Amino acid sequence: MKGRPNIRTVAKEAGVSVATISRYLNGRFVSAARGRIAEVIAELDYKPSTIARNLSLGRRGCIGVVVDSVQDPWFTQLLVGLEEEVSARDVSLMLASTELTGKYDSNIVVDWIRDRRVDGLIIAKAQHRDRSLIREAVEAKLPAVLVAPNQEFQQVQVVRCDNRSAGKDVARHLCDLGHKHVAFAGGPSNSIDSKQRLSGLREGMNDRGLLLNSSNVFNCGDFEVDAGAKFGRQFFDKSTNATAVVFANDLLAIGFMRVAHKLGVRIPEDLSVVGFNGLPEGERLWVSLTTVAQAFQQMGTAACRRLFESIDSPGPVQTIEFPMTLIVRESTGPARRSGSRSRTANGRGAGARR
């Protein structure tokens, strides 16, 4: 009994050919010694070598996961779903951050595609700059699935969430609290997520006979904390009738709330704030953030499954959409009476030090 048993050992022991064992393992029909084969496999504790299998099939047994930054908390959430699905199939992962060095660089991924170092690609939050990357994959006929892309892309599988309905949910929640004037602060101006969330919000308010005035619609430029803070400084500089601000994502909201806190604006007493995505971090804020959660884990597993399907048998592209879930926390409350925003309650203005 030296070393691990291989397919040959099993064949010999079961009195059939290796081809039969192989067929048995791959689910194709084997009339005769079915039971006997199963027995032998169990007896020998035989585990097929995925690496040999992949060599034979011309596969890598490995899929590439592309994201702006591995540090993005959004991505971490997605990873949970990927992990589960991928390890169940004995497939491994290659990670690539396109912004590892500080500026965008997709060369690593392009190399993966050209050298076929991965069997497929999962691209998280693809945006405009990823176009060439995606084109490359399509041309190389390398299966790819986009998770929550920020743009419309053709010819690729997509897994995303239902932003419009989520926007409507937020509208309903705010209206129920008596808010009549709501502002929206988006991310990059061409972000699909941003647009859809806004459009859902608008629609939801319309349903209540309210209007989301376009003078109350802003763009922060990107999705980062700093942009939210910058927007906050501008926002509080001019007067507004808005009693609630909805942000296109949680990080923007967090940046904004920091500024509000410095300026002594109380949340939610003076102003309600809503984010999008459902990052765990939002729950840990001094005033926990009302947000709309994505079904991260489900999206992760769905993306994987879809990718594996495409690898096994190239099918038609399709888009899978998941519902989002409103999570009401502390940052939303009843609308203040119009025109009474206090800015002195807590105005110690600590100010950033460094």
Which residues form the interface with DNA (CB under 7 A)? 3-4, 6-8, 15-23, 25-26, 29-33, 46-49, 52-53, 55-58
Q: How many CA atoms lie within 13 A of 158 on its CB side?
A: 19
- Which of residues 39, 43, 84, 176 is near a copy of itself by CB under 8 A? 84
In angstroms, what is the minimal distance from the CB of 312 to DNA?
A: 10
Residue 330 binding a copy of itself, by CB under 8 A: yes
d(CA 97, CA 126) in angstroms, rounded, equals 12
Residue 237 binding a copy of itself, by CB under 8 A: no
Residue 43 binding a copy of itself, by CB under 8 A: no
d(CA 298, CA 81) in angstroms, rounded, equals 6
d(CA 54, CA 90) in angstroms, rounded, equals 11
Residue 67, beta-bridge partner list: 97
In angstroms, what is the minimal distance from the CB of 82 to DNA?
A: 24
Q: Identify residue 93 by its one-letter amino acid code.
A: L
In angstroms, what is the minimal distance from the CB of 33 to a copy of itself?
A: 25
Residue 197 tokens, joined: 């969330």
d(CA 228, CA 338) in angstroms, rounded, equals 24
Contact of residue 60 among a copy of itself, DNA, none (CB under 5-8 Å per partner type): a copy of itself
Residue 245-274 contact track with a copy of itself, rule CB under 8 A, x = bound: ------x--xx-xx--x----x--x-----
Residue 287 binding a copy of itself, by CB under 8 A: yes
Q: How far is CA 190 from CA 16, 36, 72, 110, 193, in A?
A: 61, 61, 20, 25, 9
Residue 45-74 contact track with a copy of itself, rule CB under 8 A, x = bound: --x-xxxx-xx---xxxx-------xx-x-
Contact of residue 33 among DNA, a copy of itself, none (CB under 5-8 Å per partner type): DNA
Interface with a copy of itself: number of residues (CB under 8 A): 62
Residue 246, beta-bridge partner list: 184, 274
Residue 177 binding a copy of itself, by CB under 8 A: no
d(CA 294, CA 187) in angstroms, rounded, equals 17
- Which of residues 281, 320, 321, 325 is near a copy of itself by CB under 8 A? 281
Residue 190 binding a copy of itself, by CB under 8 A: no
Whether omega before 268 lies within 30 degrees of 0, making that bond cis, reads yes
Q: How far is CA 311 from CA 53, 62, 96, 307, in A?
A: 15, 11, 20, 6
* 93 DSSP 8-state letter: E
* 277 DSSP 8-state letter: B
d(CA 300, CA 316) in angstroms, rounded, equals 20
Using the minimum distance from each CB to DNA, give the nearer residue, 113 or 274.
113
Helix 107-114 to helix 131-139 angle (10° resolution) is 0
Residue 22 binding a copy of itself, by CB under 8 A: no
In angstroms, what is the minimal distance from the CB of 28 to DNA?
A: 8
In angstroms, what is the minimal distance from the CB of 132 to a copy of itself?
A: 20
Return the residue matching tokens 């705010």: 174
- Which of residues 155, 190, 206, 346 is near a copy of itself by CB under 8 A? 346
- Please give the residue ranges that form the binding site for a copy of itself (CB under 8 A): 4, 47, 49-52, 54-55, 59-62, 70-71, 73, 75-77, 79-80, 82-84, 86-87, 90, 92-97, 100, 108, 115-117, 225, 251, 254-255, 257-258, 261, 266, 269, 280-281, 284-288, 328-330, 346, 348, 350, 352-354
